[in-house]
């Protein structure tokens, strides 16, 4: 079903909801693996595919296209042109393979309840920051701009709403674990800041593909952080 131009702006509210659904499914899947003795490796290898299945691969596709454009193009115009190419280059395939292995490597170390909770909240944070970037960061002037149809007044409403969700997520993380919660919040905000400067310098602003790139990168960072440091600090 095709979404009307007027209703597309509400997709910004779906991004945090995507995080809630993904986090809940990952938690439930881990509980099933524990109950039936499927093991951590099975959870990690299958779990790494769950976010891709939920989004239909949109975020991973954005990650692949952006990685390919950053590696092979030297100008803003050329990078934006490469974003439109439906064919995956060799660098995009390599980036996707490395992404999956790192993602699964992080998940294989996540087994504790608090780790799973921080992982689940990480998906919500990723979606929320992805939406906040749309209403705060500059957009590229090409036709690939994601939400040019959102008015300034509507952006203000979305900013307040998404900011409240983000504060709630950070507060919940800190409540579960002071050190881990603070570090997770800092890591996500650092990647968000990197996303701002990278998109502005290399692409002239954000695009739909760059939104997917950020969300995929942010989720990967959370998985690795919760997996590695959760084993040490929790």
| Distance, CA of 147 to chain centre | 18
Cβ-Cβ contacts under 8 Å for 217 (sequence gap 6 or more): 63, 191, 195
Cα–Cα distances (Å) from 166 to 123, 217, 223, in that order, read 11, 18, 18
Task: Phi first, then psi: give them for residue 206, nearest 5 degrees.
Answer: -90, 155
Mean pLDDT of 72-97: 84
Count Cβ neighbours within 10 Å for each residue of 35-60 and write b for 16 or more, e otherwise: eeeeebeebbeebbeebbebbebbbb
Mean pLDDT of 84-97: 84
What pLDDT was estimated at residue 9?
62
Mean pLDDT of 15-20: 92
Burial of residue 232, with CB atoms counted within 10 A of its CB: 0-12 exposed, 13-18 middle, 19 or more buried: exposed
User: 113-136 and 152-176 are packed helices; what angle lies between their axes, rounded to 10 degrees?
Assistant: 160
- pLDDT tens-digit series, residues 27-73: 999 999 999 999 999 999 999 999 999 988 899 999 999 999 988 88
Mean pLDDT of 194-200: 95
- pLDDT tens-digit series, residues 152-189: 777 888 899 999 999 999 999 999 999 999 999 999 99
Tokens of 168: 């709630």
The beta strand positions in 65-125, using DSSP E, are none
What pLDDT was estimated at residue 1?
41
d(CA 212, CA 207) in angstroms, rounded, equals: 9
Contact indicator for 134, 211 with CB cutoff of 8 Å? yes
What pLDDT was estimated at residue 14?
84
What pLDDT was estimated at residue 145?
52
Mean pLDDT of 121-148: 81
d(CA 58, CA 63) in angstroms, rounded, equals: 9
What pLDDT was estimated at residue 3?
45
Task: Output the DSSP codes for 197-214.
Answer: HHHHHHHSSB-HHHHHHH
Cα–Cα distances (Å) from 19 to 54, 129, 220, 224, in that order, read 10, 11, 13, 17
Q: What contacts 24+ positions apart, CB below 8 Å, involve 151-156?
A: 154/9
Least confident of 82-96, 101-115, 145-159, 177-191: 145-159
d(CA 45, CA 32) in angstroms, rounded, equals: 14
């Amino acid at each position: 079903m095709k979404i009307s131009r007027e209703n597309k702006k509400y997709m910004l509210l779906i991004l945090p909801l995507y995080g809630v659904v993904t986090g809940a499914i990952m938690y439930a899947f881990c509980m099933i693996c524990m109950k039936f003795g499927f093991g951590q490796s099975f959870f990690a290898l299958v779990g790494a595919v769950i976010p891709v299945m939920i989004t239909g691969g949109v975020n991973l596709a954005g990650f692949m296209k952006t990685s390919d454009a950053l590696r092979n193009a030297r100008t803003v115009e050329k990078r934006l042109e490469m974003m439109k190419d439906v064919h995956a280059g060799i660098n995009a395939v390599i980036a996707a393979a490395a992404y999956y292995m790192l993602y699964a490597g992080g998940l294989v170390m996540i087994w504790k309840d608090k780790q799973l909770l921080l992982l689940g909240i990480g998906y919500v944070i990723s979606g929320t920051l992805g939406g906040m970037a749309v209403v705060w960061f500059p957009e590229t002037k090409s036709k690939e701009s994601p939400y040019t149809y959102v008015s300034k007044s509507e952006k203000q409403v979305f900013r307040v709403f998404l900011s409240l969700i983000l504060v709630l997520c950070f507060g919940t993380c800190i409540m579960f674990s002071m050190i881990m919660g603070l570090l997770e919040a800092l890591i996500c905000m650092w990647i968000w800041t990197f996303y701002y400067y990278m998109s502005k310098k290399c692409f002239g602003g954000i695009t739909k593909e760059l939104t997917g790139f950020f969300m995929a990168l942010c989720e990967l960072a959370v998985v690795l952080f919760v997996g590695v440091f959760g084993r040490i600090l929790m």
